[in-house]
């Protein structure tokens, strides 16, 4: 099985918030392929800064997390077009970064692991998702 972790899933794991155990289980499984979109790196790092982490702590966390993934996915023209398709199909406005991350997952036929309500609203015909949040299915 293939999984792409959204930034929200990384944060849940890092902060041991709701759903972090599911992310940990994915990291421990040997029969899965784990992806991370390159856009999650600055998004994750910026959030760590917002939470008071030092530059050294942020660099260390980024390096440690990158080592856990099979592949870091770039953004290219194909991802952009898929993100536009996903954005058009979403019932409400989808932030651009989230649309690009979702498109990266969709193009790799990977399950997007996240904690974002707006990502759960993307039609299942375009994206398979695993929502880690506890306040809705």
Q: Where are the domains of the chain?
A: 2-131
Residue whose C-alpha is closest to residue 73's, from 102, 44, 49, 31: 102
- Quick check: 26 and 34 in contact, CB under 8 A? yes
Tens-of-pLDDT digits for all 137 residues of the chain? 999 999 999 999 999 999 999 999 999 999 999 999 999 999 999 999 999 999 999 999 999 999 999 999 999 999 999 999 999 999 888 999 999 999 999 999 999 999 998 898 898 899 999 999 854 33
Measured at the CA of 103, the angle between CA 9 and CA 58, to 5 degrees, comes to 40
Quote the CATH superfamily of domain 2-131: 5'-nuclease (3.40.50.1010)
- Quick check: 13 and 23 in contact, CB under 8 A? yes
- Three-state SS letters, the chain: CEEEECHHHHHHHHHCCCCHHHHHHHHHCCCCEEEEECCHHHHHHHHHHHCCCCHHHHHHHHHHHHCCCCEEECCCHHHHHHHHHHHHHCCCCCCHHHHHHHHHHHHCCCEEEECCHHHHCCCCCCCCEEECCCCCC
CA 98 to CA 84: how far, in whole Å? Answer: 11
Radius of gyration of the chain (CA): 14
CA 127 to CA 111: how far, in whole Å? Answer: 7
């Amino acid at each position: 099985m293939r999984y792409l972790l959204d930034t929200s899933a990384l944060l849940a794991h890092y902060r041991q918030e709701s759903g972090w155990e599911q992310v940990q289980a994915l990291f421990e499984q040997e029969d899965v392929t784990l992806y991370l979109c390159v856009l999650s790196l600055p998004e994750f790092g910026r959030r760590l800064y917002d939470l008071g982490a030092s530059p050294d702590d942020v660099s260390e966390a980024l390096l440690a997390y990158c080592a856990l993934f099979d592949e870091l996915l770039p953004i290219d023209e194909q991802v952009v077009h898929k993100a536009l398709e996903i954005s058009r199909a979403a019932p409400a406005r989808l932030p651009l970064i989230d649309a690009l991350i979702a498109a990266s997952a969709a193009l790799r036929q990977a399950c997007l692991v996240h904690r974002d309500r707006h990502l759960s609203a993307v039609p299942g015909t375009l994206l398979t998702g695993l929502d880690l949040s506890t306040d809705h299915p």
